[in-house]
A = this chain, B = another copy of it.
Amino acid sequence: MALPHVVIIGGGFGGLYAARALRRARVRITILDRRNHHVFQPLLYQVAMAALSPGDIASPIRWILRRQKNVEVLLAEVRAIDQAGKQLILADGDERLSYDFLIVASGATHAYFGHDEWRATAPGLKTLEDALDIRRRVLLAFEHAERESDLHRRERLLTFVVIGGGPTGVEMAGALAEISRQSLARDFRHIDPSSARIILIEAGPSVLSTFPESLREAARADLTRLGVDVRTGAAVTGVSPGAIAVGSEIIAAETVIWAAGVAASPLGATLGAPLDRAGRVLVEPELTVPGSRTVFVIGDLAARAGADGKPLPGVAQVAIQMGKHAARNVLRAIEQQPYRPFVYRDLGNMATIGRASAVADFGWMRLKGYLGWLAWLFVHILNLIGFRNRLVVMVQWAWSYFSYQRAIRLITGPLPELDGDRRSSAGTS
């Protein structure tokens, strides 16, 4: 008899931990992703902020799972899900992939609240490519400012706006402050990088709204100390190249980073299940799609409430625990046992503001400042996949800590066109 075929869409935290949880199961697993690598999302902002290389926080999915012989990894994109026929239709070619159980973990992307035209000006941070794009924009702004003689234009080039005061927004604003105040201190001749304005805009009443009040206030104080202009209760009403509107105020800013909204992967909408406002699938307590026994939705694509009735946040821990739980329910189905409902175990919540400054809420213990930062370092190093990545990230962090520098300040990507022929130009790299 053929082994049951479990197909997992997405090699993020949810998909990867689902596959690993099935490592001893008598099943055949196929995990698909349109990228060949898993990204350790909690450190992605450090790639955007020139502190780490993409390779330090990403590993090939097939390398991670190389020893798990019941898994096959496929670099492929899913066009549609045929639930009636229990098949996936792949994007390239006419290939179809049959499944017995399907775990959809295709994640989320940025949401611009109906203003998709803001995307080009205010990029968000979800992929390595996004991170390199943001790195390029930030570093180019300083380069262009160095060559700019007009004071208004120079000021605009040295104004950085981060929209959204969640962990990612706070981490990026803090990092931008450190880059301008510390890392670039000696490097320019015409501008003073430390005169750069870093503005963090949050529509709600405080940054890090999911943290207890004492930590929210510690974070705000640390950001302010670093020189970040924190504006809460401020709604962005317009984004255009070179300027954003906050209420009735116009802020001239060349570089705008979006850390505000999340929209679920469009694949969720093809499942015929009820969705929440962000497009997430309102899954059953067992993490199945309503009406199905074979299709599970997990991670950022799934909408579930926690014990407090509030929706579970789109963080790694939720995806990891859901991935393991969906895998266990698959095993229960094979063993003809009833499914169990998912219960989220909150292991805590962390955000780093900068050098020796972070907040960590473990429920039974709250840490801030240096202790919070040590906890943050420890947890992140520990959770990185692969010994080499852990070692290299530790070396990079140690070097940054003692030197106040950012090592990966590379502006890469295509050169601007020069008279339609970029090869007829000077300067080596």
Contact = CB atoms under 8 A, between A and B. Distances in A.
A15 B429 CA distance: 11
Interface string A121-148: 0000011110010000001100100110
Nearest to A429: B35
Contact-residue size bin, chain A (C-beta under 8 Å from the other chain): 35 or more
Contact of A427 (B33, B53, B139, B189): B33
A427 B32 contact: yes
Nearest to A144: B75
Contacts of A413: 129
Given A54-B408, A299-B428, 5 more contacts: A34-B415, A37-B429, A66-B186, A129-B412, A388-B395
14 contacts: A10-B427, A11-B429, A36-B139, A60-B187, A63-B409, A73-B187, A78-B426, A79-B426, A91-B419, A91-B425, A105-B428, A129-B414, A266-B426, A387-B399
Contacts of A105: 428
A247 interface: no
A391 B395 CA distance: 8
A403 B79 CA distance: 37
A267 interface: yes
B62 A188 contact: yes
A414 B130 CA distance: 10
A107 interface: yes
Contact of A63 (B74, B187, B388, B429): B187
Interface in A27-78: 32-39, 53-56, 58-60, 62-63, 66-67, 72-78
Contacts of A265: 426, 428
A392 interface: yes
A352 interface: no
Interface in A64-112: 66-67, 72-79, 91-92, 104-109
A235 interface: no
A91 B55 contact: no
A189 B72 contact: yes
A423 interface: yes
